[in-house]
Amino acid sequence: MTDDPAPSRPEIQSPDAQGPDPRAALRHRTIVLVGLMGVGKSSVGRRLATALDLPFRDADNEVEAAAGRSIPEIFAEMGEPAFRDGERRVIARLLDEPPHVLATGGGAFVNAETRALIKSKAVAVWLKADLELLARRVGRKEGRPLLKGRDPMDVLREHAALRYPAYGEAHLAVETGDTAHGVAVEAVIQALRSHLQTQSESEAT
C-alpha cells in the first residue's frame, strides 16, 4: 500500500507576477490634505498613508516638535502669527522630503506662500463636510485655541467664509460627509486616480 500523495500547495505568485501595483502611480508625489478643523485630515490621512504604503506626517505634530511646545502653548505664549510662521517653515521642510501623506492645519493652505509651495510640489486634496457635522465633532474635543470661549458653529462659519476661496485652489475636492474613514479614504484614492488620468491625457495631447 502506497502513501497518498501530499496535497499540492497553491503556487504563490510574486508581486511582479501578479502585475503592477495599481496604486504605485499615486506614490510619486506627496499628498497634502487641507480643510477645516474636524473634517478628519489626520484620521483619514493616516489610513490613506497605510492604504498607499506611504509615510504619514501631521503638520501640527511637527510644529509642536520643532517648537518644543503644544499648539495651545504656542498660541498662548507666542501668538497666532508666530504659530503660522513656524507652520509655514515646517511644511516647506516636509515638502522637500520623499513622497508621503501630509495632514495640515486648517489655516495652513490659506497662507499664499505655503499654498504655492504645496501646489507646485504636491497634490492638494480638500476634504469637505457640512459645517453642522464639523461643529458636532470639534465641540466634543478640547485643545483647539481658535475655539476657546466661542461657539464652534460661529467659528466654522467665519473660517468657511475666509478659507474656502483658498481651499478651492486645491487640485482636488472630496466630500467626506458623515462616513466611515475607510469610505473617505477610498473616495480620496478614486479622486487621485481620476486626477492622475486627466493629467496623463492632458500631457499626451
Residue with cell 496623463: 200
Contact 74, 119 (CB under 8 A): no
- In this structure, the chain runs to a length of 205
List of the chain residues with pLDDT < 50: 1-18
Question: Strand 30-34 and strand 56-58: pairing?
Answer: unpaired
pLDDT at 184: 94
pLDDT at 1: 46
pLDDT at 22: 65
Among 95, 99, 97, CA closest to 108: 95
Contact 156, 135 (CB under 8 A): yes
pLDDT at 20: 60
How many other CB atoms are there within 10 angstroms of residue 126's CB atom? 24
pLDDT at 23: 79
How many other CB atoms are there within 10 angstroms of residue 198's CB atom? 10
User: Distance (Å, rounded) from C-alpha 135 to C-alpha 178?
Assistant: 12
pTM to 2 decimal places: 0.84
* Structural domains of the chain sorted by starting position, each given as residue range(s) with its CATH number in brackets: 27-204 (3.40.50.300)
pLDDT at 204: 67
pLDDT at 201: 74
pLDDT at 14: 39
* pLDDT per position as a tens digit, 69-118: 998 899 889 988 889 899 999 999 999 999 999 999 999 999 999 999 99
User: Distance (Å, rounded) from C-alpha 23 to C-alpha 15?
Assistant: 13
Who's near 50: CB < 8 A, 6+ residues apart?
Answer: 56
